[in-house]
Each structure stands twice: as C-alpha cells, then as structure tokens.
Structure 1
Amino acid sequence: MTSFFARYVEEEFIPYSASHIVMLAALVVLALLLYGFRERSRSNAHVKTMIRYSILLGLLAPQILLYYWYAIVGLWSVKYTLPLELCSISQMLAIIMLFTRSKLLYQIVFFAGIGGAMQAMLTPDLDYPYPHFRFFHFFIVHIAIILAPLYMTWIEGFRPTWKSVWLTMIFLNILLVAVGGADYWLDANYMFLREKPQGASLLDLLGPYPYYLIAEEGIALVLFSLMYLPFIPWRRRQS
C-alpha cells in the first residue's frame, strides 16, 4: 500500500495552505468556465452530455474509491462511515438529479448542496493533507456537489423559486430528525448533531450545544434567501 492510500499520516491538514488554496481556486475556475461557456453548451447536446457526465464522474468515482479504501485499511464503521453527513446526502441527491433532471431534487441540491459544500470547502473537517487520497476525495466531491446545481441552472435552464427556500428548510429539518435518531441509536455524531467537529469550523462561532443547532437554522434561512436574490424577477415599473 502506498502512502497515497495510507491509513495513518504524520502530517496534518493545514487550512488555507497552498494545497487548500489551489482547490478553492479550482472551484472558482471551473465555475467560471461553466458560466462563461453556458450559451455555447446549451446549443450543443454533445457538450452538455460531456459536462453532465464529467460532474457525475466527480461525484461517483471518488466515493467508490473511498469505500474501497475503508475496506482495505479497516476503517469501516457504522459510527463514522455511513453516508449520513449533509454533504454525503447532497452528493447522492445530486447524482440522482443529474440522471433524472428532477426539478424537485434540483431545488434542494441548489440550496443545501451549495450551502453545505461551500462551508466544507472553506472550513474543511479533514485529517489528511495533500497528496493523500482523502484530500483529493474531499475536494473533488465537494466541488462536484457545487457544480451539479450550477450546471442545471446555467445550462439546463432550471431556476429556484422562493418556495424552494422553504422546501429546503423543511427537508433539512426532516433530515435533522432522521439523522439525529440514527446518531442516538448508533452513538454517532453525523451532521455534528451531538457535538461540534474537533477541527476548526464555523460552528465554533455559534455557541455550545444545543444552541449552535438553533443558530444554524437561522443562518441557513438567511444564506438561502441571499442565494435566491439573483433569481428574483425584478421588474421595472412602467409609467
């Protein structure tokens, strides 16, 4: 087994190190390219298919390798490796959305996927630094989660509505109950519903348990509302 798939590493991931900045820059560049070539991509079915399947590859391939890695290094555990984190759930929904072009899933992935993945990109809860496999898995998957609804917006022509904000909030609260129940049953901490992550994160600014969970509700509503602003159909009054 090479160090690329090693179970233990001596180095630690350092937020906003050169490798972290490169991954953030990669997200910005890919998003700008997706937006810049949106008109040309819309009119070319082959290009649309290529982009869609490239994003799907970024969502699927690293995840398949992740479970392979869990198996070969003996890290599989129902307390830590089930896909019950918000970004893992957004990842699965994004895969289904891209295959089915579901407008319902698009509304949820646009807000919950982009919001959650951006928070993860900016404050990664990551133990493995570059060039470990887990480093690449983490950033490739989160970049793909963000690009998936952007592709559906800019190229497929989907649009969120104000109702989408509330639909996503309802979805997240149902998810909170379901995952919270799983946490209690498994003695786990998926979605950090029982305690904050050990590494630095935005949750450090929101107070102790359970107050940070309540604060997250308000922050999510404000964030989703801001994300919806570019889609408000501003209309000029005609005299």
Structure 2
Amino acid sequence: MGQYFSLIYAGEPIKLFGREHLTALAIITLFCFSFLYFRKVWGEKEKKVVRWILAVLIVVNESALHVWSVYWGIWNIQTMLPLHMCSVIIWASAYMLVTKNYSIYEMVYFLGLGGAMQAVLTPADAAAYNFPHFRIMQTFIAHGLLIGIAIYMTVVEGFRPTLQSFKRIFVWTNIYMVVIFFLNLAIGSNYLFVAGKPEFPTLLDMLAPWPWYIIELEAIGFAIFFLLYVPFLIKDWKTKQVTAS
C-alpha cells in the first residue's frame, strides 16, 4: 500500500489518453451528466446536502495534498501556496457551495471550468504517476470536482454567467496575474507560470518563449472564456427571437 503514497513512483507513468486516462475522463463525464437527471429529482433539502458533500470532498482532497507534501518534505512557499488559479478556485468553490455566492460562482464557472478541463486533459504536474497512486488520484479528483461543481451550480441550482460576468472575470484575472508576477519576483516562485514555462511538459511548450507566450495566453484565455459563454449567448439570442416574434 505504501507504494501508492510514495514520493518516487516506480511504476509506469500515466499515458496521455491511454486506458487509465480515458477511464478517468469517462468517470468525470458521467459524474457531470448525472446532474441532468438529478436536477429533476432533488428538492432543496437534497441540494443543500449535495453542496455540503461537494464542499467537504474538495477541501479534504486538497488538504490531503498539503499533508502528503509536508510528509515528504517538499512543501514550500515557492510551489505550494494556494495561488495557482485552480488552487484558488478550489478553496473559493467550497465557500461558494456553502453560501451560494454568485460572484464566486462567476469565478468558478470561467476559471474553474476552463482551467480544470485543461488539467484533466493534460495532467502534466502529476504525469510521473499512474492510477491508483495518491498523487494522480488527487489531481483528477480535484479537477474533476471543479468541473462538476461548476456544472452542478449551473444545471441544478440554476446559476448562469452573464456578459458582465465574462468581462468582470477577464479583467480581474489580469489584475490578479499582475499581482502574482510581482509576488513571484519577491519570493522566487512561478505561480500562474508568468515567470517562465514550467519544468514539466505542458501545452505552454507549444507557445512562444517568455515573455511573449503570456500575450498568447491572454488570447487563449479570452477564447476559452468566450466558448464557455457561447451556450448562454445562443440561449439569450433565441429568447430575444421568441420575444420579438
């Protein structure tokens, strides 16, 4: 059992879109699609219980990563502070689930959903591990829950982003990035990967060298936000057409 919690993994690393990876993606997909059924079944009492369960799960899962890192002596302020986008959204999403805070929902929808989808498709930071090792399990659970929470709040609780949400989150994300850039300079970190490309392989390797890839990331981020908003843009357009007719 200890081998599945070890720092150095002796087994074969996960193969991108191999059997294990595709199985994990299928489980996450089924988890999210299940909300289409349960939204017709759950009442307010059941929804509250589900929100609390999701909040506890994501907090415990993220806390376990910090405990594991401390145990193996790899926890440090340069890599483990909750400042990467998905880390921020993990803790924010737990608060949102309990309070149903709409402003945080906007963050979870655009940043959580957009970032977590990329993370489960290319789990680069845990690519050296494979199922059922703790590190790869923790990665897929964290990001799978982020995707599920954003979809749950939209499909079951009836929340939805607006055009103002789109603009607001894009602006605040850029402000946050500037703050993190200077923090990176102060403590020698690379949060948000704005100080340089990560050491492990990622999609950033396909972009221009630093600092030019940051501009490309801006365009990619805008495109992802837009794609996430398109379903609601279409819905609003159809509603206007019906109203006009």
Please name the residue that 1:236 is paired with: 241
Q: Larger deviation: 198-207 or 226-235?
A: 198-207
1:6 Cα deviation after fit: 0.6
Please name the residue that 1:189 is paired with: 190
Q: Could you tell me how far apart the structure 2 residues matched to 1:21 and 1:196 are?
A: 27
Tell me if the contact between 1:165 and 1:221 (Cα under 8 Å) persists in the aligned partners. Answer: no
Structure-to-structure mapping, 1:37-186, within 5 angstroms: 37-41=38-42, 44-125=43-124, 126=126, 127-186=128-187
Tell me if the contact between 2:5 and 2:133 (Cα under 8 Å) persists in the aligned partners. Answer: yes
Return 5+ residue gaps in structure 2 as ranges: none
Is 1:200 matched up with 2:205?
no
Q: Could you tell me how far apart the structure 2 residues matched to 1:15 and 1:54 are?
A: 30
Which amino acid counterpart does residue 236 of structure 1 have in structure 2? Q
Q: Could you tell me how far apart the structure 1 residues matched to 2:145 and 2:204 are?
A: 24
Q: Deviation per CA, 1:116-174, whole angstroms, max 9, x where unpaired?
A: 11111111121322221111110001011111121111111111001111111112112
1:198 Cα deviation after fit: 3.0
1:17 Cα deviation after fit: 2.3
RMSD: 1.6
Q: Could you tell me how far apart the structure 1 residues matched to 2:72 and 2:206 are?
A: 35
1:33 Cα deviation after fit: 0.3
Tell me if the contact between 1:94 and 1:148 (Cα under 8 Å) persists in the aligned partners. Answer: yes
Please name the residue that 2:222 is paired with: 221
Please name the residue that 2:10 is paired with: 10
Q: Larger deviation: 183-192 or 51-60?
A: 51-60
- Determine helix, strand or coil for the equivalent of 1:84: coil
Tell me if the contact between 2:190 and 2:196 (Cα under 8 Å) persists in the aligned partners. Answer: yes
- Determine helix, strand or coil for the equivalent of 1:10: coil
Identity fraction in percent? 33
- Give the number of equivalent residue pairs: 237
Q: Deviation per CA, 1:54-78, whole angstroms, max 9, x where unpaired?
A: 3213311111211211122111111
Tell me if the contact between 2:58 and 2:94 (Cα under 8 Å) persists in the aligned partners. Answer: yes
- Name the TM-score, length of structure 2 as normaliser: 0.91
Q: Could you tell me how far apart the structure 2 residues matched to 1:122 and 1:71 are?
A: 27
- Name the TM-score, length of structure 1 as normaliser: 0.93
Q: Which consecutive aligned stretches of 4+ in structure 1 deviate over 6 angstroms post-superposition? A: none
Q: Could you tell me how far apart the structure 2 residues matched to 1:53 and 1:199 are?
A: 35
Tell me if the contact between 2:25 and 2:120 (Cα under 8 Å) persists in the aligned partners. Answer: yes
Q: Could you tell me how far apart the structure 1 residues matched to 2:39 and 2:92 are?
A: 23
